[in-house]
Amino acid sequence: MGRQRPSKSAAPEPDAAVKGPVAGKYQTDTGMAELVPDGDNPNGWLLLLNGVQSSHVDLADPLRLDFEYMRWIMALVADRWGAGEKLRTLSLGGAACSMPRYLVAAYPNSRNVVVEIDGKLANLVRDWFELPRAPLLKIRVGEAREVTETLTEASRDLVIRDVFSGAKTPHALTTAEFTEATKKVLAVDGVYVLNCGDSPALATARREAATIAAAFTYTAIIADPPMLKGRRSGNIIIAGSDAPLGVGGGLPRALLGGAMPAQLWDDAKVRQFGQSALILTDAE
């Protein structure tokens, strides 16, 4: 997840630079990062940002993703692209770079760019987790919308938005205008996938679904049944593309695995879900 824009005032220097993960709290440009060992996995580390669980990394296995919503996103990616594909990906929101690290391992021919607003955090994460270097994985420090709007048209196959300020994604990264800017960056058959955090009312998810449906020919939603029924707060994955998503039964079957099985909603169901919601705009 990403964080809010740092203030222009001078921030305290982070703790002394280290090589390899060391448990503790570290000052960053946007607040406080805390690194906690995974008590169930000697190679696992949990990253909290301003007190919120943000990422999990297994140093021995980049293909292990402990956060369910990340596994759902990667299942969607695997359903579209085989391991030999030369993927060009853009991840908006870096934190510990769990998904970009996964993409490097799963798609050795891929080229992955991460946009992270917190420069000090980006440096810490590189030191802690020995991330692959460019061109496999490049971290670009900046604000997600500003960076996206500077990129070459049709230069990415996959864009993942996983940016949060507290419990919400900044409004500027949810609007129709930003969605159109993201679509321009995508190849003709590219996929835009976003992590939407919402309450049981699902008001945000409905508006995000409506916004994505207005921009793309095909849409999909992935979430666990209690979330889709409005019984809890959590994550809903929304995807848009001008090529079909989740065709065949492979993706639904893949989503049934794991500790939290998920459902796939097709385009018709996504449009029905968001049909009464207002499209998000910059003017709000």
Q: Count Cα neighbours of 284 within 13 Å in the Cβ-side half-sphere.
A: 13
The confidence score (pLDDT) of residue 275 equals 96
User: What pLDDT, on a 0 to 100 scale, did the predictor assign at position 259?
Assistant: 87
Q: What single-letter amino acid sits at 20?
A: G
Specify the pTM. 0.92
82-85: long-range pairs with CB below 8 Å, 24+: 83/107, 83/108, 84/109, 85/109, 85/110, 85/157
> For 220-236, what is each residue's pLDDT tens digit?
999 999 999 999 999 99
**Structure confidence at residue 16 (pLDDT):** 44
pLDDT tens per residue across all 284 residues of the chain: 444 333 333 333 344 445 799 999 999 999 999 999 999 999 999 999 999 999 999 999 999 999 999 999 999 999 999 998 999 999 999 999 999 999 999 999 999 999 999 999 999 999 999 999 999 999 999 999 999 999 999 999 999 999 998 789 999 999 999 999 999 999 999 999 999 999 999 999 999 999 999 999 999 999 999 999 999 999 999 999 999 999 888 999 999 988 899 999 999 999 999 999 999 999 99
Q: Which of 54, 74, 78 is nearest to 64 (CA)?
A: 74
Residue 12: per-residue pLDDT: 35
Cα separation, 35 vs 204, in Å, equals: 30
pLDDT for res 214: 98
Domains of the chain (ranges, CATH numbers): 67-274 (3.40.50.150)
In this structure, is the dihedral angle defined by the CA atoms of residues 94, 61, 261 and 244, taken in order, positive or negative? positive
